[in-house]
């Protein structure tokens, strides 16, 4: 299948204007343009943690394999239970997990049973031992009203049935999933290979950690935040360092990155400054779009694809400001990389909570403010701003535990109004 060009994709977007893109328009174009990689590798299930499953996994057994007891107690015939009647049953056998009792259990009889042991064929109910009375080696009394037919019995195949799809291709495997695979007896699975993502920072003012900081210079922090975000996403990273504001050096960096990477991320040089060479270099080499997106931070952004030696790499030219890099990554690049890696990722969940801070906001653009979400004394979760929100203030990201997302239509937020937040941390 040949890949659609960016111009074909943008022609389907109503009201497309590169100088006034909305966040949803830009997200949609990127999502529609990127294509999943095809390479698959077989790995042991522990190594499959956080990887993207390549094929559906179908169970070849029932889990559990037998009806079994959910409690330590006594397995009995539900027919023996009668409303308001105390019952004394004769114990005919005892079964532990891993054992089964194949004998008959007649009316008036029961079997001492442990959690996980297979149910005797004639029994459909288990009474936990602490609900019984006068138990000894030979008999046990079941007081009236303590158990109903079918209680405390786990049914064969209630977790998964033979032939049922246990996990769908595209799932990013979490701890529960590799446990589920183990419960099916699966030792290895096919996962998509890790994405290879190259990145470099641009700017003559940038110094790398370890170098002296001359007047007018700043340390390059974007390569570290990108390293962190890409590593968390499970990518193989290619750190290409700092590239000077020089068209020849920049072209060489792009060409080299595209030889090995599935995606290339740059920061800086996408605005209108005299030394902003990223855009002209990208245009020379590939199928590129440059946008001014109605958002803050992260307004300028370049996106496209560079083809080189029969293969191609997607390209994300992010703005230089450190907070803008992170916000653009979380709200554009992350989804694209997940899609490229073959994952069926759902949108980042948003929670609606009250804001303790009044927030200045004009309708017409999306704002991503850094917030601290905490429970008050009544257990209600509320969010407040971290403080100054400039897109160069990286500490605002470090202090935050969430992003407050104020959509295009949102105007001023008064203290006490509800806002939507995206959490940084969660169970994965």
3-state class (DSSP) for residue 326:
helix
| DSSP 8-state assignment for residue 331 | I
Q: Which stretch binds ligand MOO (CB under 6 A): 292-300, 360-368, 408-416, 419-427?
A: 292-300
Q: Which stretch binds ligand LQZAQKY5 (CB under 6 A): 49-57, 86-94, 229-237, 268-276?
A: 268-276
Residue 364 sits in the site that holds ligand LQZAQKY5 (CB under 6 A): no
DSSP string of 68-96, one letter each residue: EESSSEEEE-GGG--TT--EEEEEEEEE-
- Distance (Å, whole) CA 34 – CA 338: 10
Q: How far is the CB of 5 from ligand MOO (least distance, A)?
A: 27
Residue 299 sits in the site that holds ligand MOO (CB under 6 A): yes
Residue 35 sits in the site that holds ligand LQZAQKY5 (CB under 6 A): no
Residue 179 gets the label, from left (phi > 0), alpha (psi -120 to 50) or beta, of alpha
Q: How far is the CB of 302 from ligand MOO (least distance, A)?
A: 13
Please identify which residue in 266, 391, 396, 410 interacts with ligand MOO, judged by CB under 6 A. 391
- Distance (Å, whole) CA 318 – CA 278: 10
Q: How far is the CB of 57 from ligand MOO (least distance, A)?
A: 42
Rounded to the nearest 5 percent, the helix, strand and coil shares of the chain are 20, 30, 45
Task: Of 374, 421, 240, give the one whose Cα is nearest residue 313.
Answer: 240
Task: Find which of ligand MOO, ligand LQZAQKY5, none residue 22 binds, CB within 5 to 8 Å per kind.
Answer: none
Question: CA angle at residue 293 from 292 to 295, to 5 degrees?
Answer: 130
Task: Find which of ligand LQZAQKY5, ligand MOO, none residue 322 binds, CB within 5 to 8 Å per kind.
Answer: ligand LQZAQKY5
Q: Give the residue closest to ligand LQZAQKY5 by C-beta.
A: 320
Please report, in angstroms and rounded to a whole number, the separation of the first and last CA atoms in the chain. 34
Q: How far is the CB of 298 from ligand MOO (least distance, A)?
A: 4
Residue 26 sits in the site that holds ligand LQZAQKY5 (CB under 6 A): no
- Distance (Å, whole) CA 98 – CA 388: 62
Task: Of 134, 66, 71, 150, give the one whose Cα is nearest residue 101.
Answer: 66
Q: How far is the CB of 362 from ligand LQZAQKY5 (least distance, A)?
A: 15
H or E element, residue 288: strand 286-292
Site string for ligand MOO, 320-339 (x = CB under 6 A): -x--x---------------
Which pair of tokens denotes residue 197? 């993502």
- Distance (Å, whole) CA 332 – CA 317: 11
Residue 366 sits in the site that holds ligand LQZAQKY5 (CB under 6 A): no
Residue 312 sits in the site that holds ligand MOO (CB under 6 A): no
3-state class (DSSP) for residue 28:
helix
- For tokens 């996980």, the residue is 116
- Distance (Å, whole) CA 148 – CA 321: 65
| DSSP 8-state assignment for residue 385 | E
Task: Find which of ligand LQZAQKY5, ligand MOO, none residue 246 binds, CB within 5 to 8 Å per kind.
Answer: none
Q: Which stretch binds ligand LQZAQKY5 (CB under 6 A): 52-60, 78-86, 185-193, 269-277?
A: 269-277
Site string for ligand LQZAQKY5, 280-299 (x = CB under 6 A): -------------------x
Q: Which of residues 387-406 bind ligand LQZAQKY5 (CB under 6 A)?
A: 391-392
Note the residues at the interface with ligand LQZAQKY5 (CB under 6 A): 201, 203, 205-206, 218, 220-222, 267-273, 276, 299-300, 319-322, 324, 391-392
Residue ranges in contact with ligand MOO by CB under 6 A = 296-299, 319, 321, 324, 391
């Amino acid at each position: 299948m040949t890949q659609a060009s960016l111009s074909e994709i943008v022609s389907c977007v109503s009201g497309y204007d590169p100088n006034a893109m909305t966040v949803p328009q830009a997200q949609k174009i990127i999502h529609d343009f990127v294509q999943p990689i095809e390479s698959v590798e077989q790995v042991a299930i522990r190594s499959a943690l956080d990887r993207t499953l390549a094929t559906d996994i179908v169970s070849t057994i029932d889990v559990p394999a037998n009806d079994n007891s959910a409690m330590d107690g006594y397995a009995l015939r539900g027919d023996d239970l009668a409303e308001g009647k105390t019952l004394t049953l004769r114990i005919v056998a005892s079964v532990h997990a891993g054992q089964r009792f194949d004998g008959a259990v007649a009316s008036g009889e029961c079997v001492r049973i442990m959690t996980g042991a297979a149910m005797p064929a004639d029994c459909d109910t288990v009474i936990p031992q602490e609900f019984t009375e006068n138990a000894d080696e030979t008999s046990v009394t079941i007081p009236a009203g303590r158990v109903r037919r079918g209680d405390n019995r786990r049914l064969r195949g209630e977790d998964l049935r033979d032939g049922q799809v246990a996990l769908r291709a595209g799932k990013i495997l979490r701890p529960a999933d590799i446990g589920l695979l183990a419960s099916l007896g699966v030792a290895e699975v096919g996962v998509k290979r890790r994405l290879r993502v190259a990145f470099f920072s641009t700017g003559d003012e940038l110094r790398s950690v370890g170098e002296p900081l001359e007047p007018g210079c700043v340390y390059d922090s974007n390569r570290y935040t990108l390293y962190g975000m890409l590593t968390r996403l499970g990518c193989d990273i290619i750190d290409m360092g700092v590239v000077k504001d020089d068209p020849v050096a920049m072209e060489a960096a792009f060409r080299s990155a595209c030889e090995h990477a599935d995606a290339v991320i740059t920061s800086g040089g996408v605005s209108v400054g005299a030394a902003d060479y990223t855009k002209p270099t990208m245009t020379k080499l590939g199928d590129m779009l440059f946008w001014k997106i109605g958002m803050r931070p992260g307004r300028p952004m370049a996106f496209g694809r560079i083809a080189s030696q029969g293969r191609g790499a997607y390209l994300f030219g992010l703005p230089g400001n450190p907070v803008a890099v992170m916000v653009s990554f979380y709200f554009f690049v992350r989804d694209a990389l997940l899609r490229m890696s073959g994952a069926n990722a759902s949108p980042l969940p948003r929670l609606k909570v009250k804001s303790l801070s009044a927030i200045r906001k004009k309708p017409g653009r999306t704002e991503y403010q850094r917030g601290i979400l905490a429970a008050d004394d009544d257990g209600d979760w509320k969010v407040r701003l971290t403080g100054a929100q400039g897109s160069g203030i990286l500490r605002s990201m470090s202090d935050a535990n969430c992003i407050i997302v104020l959509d295009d239509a949102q105007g001023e937020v008064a203290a006490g109004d509800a806002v939507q937040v995206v959490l940084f941390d969660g169970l994965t």
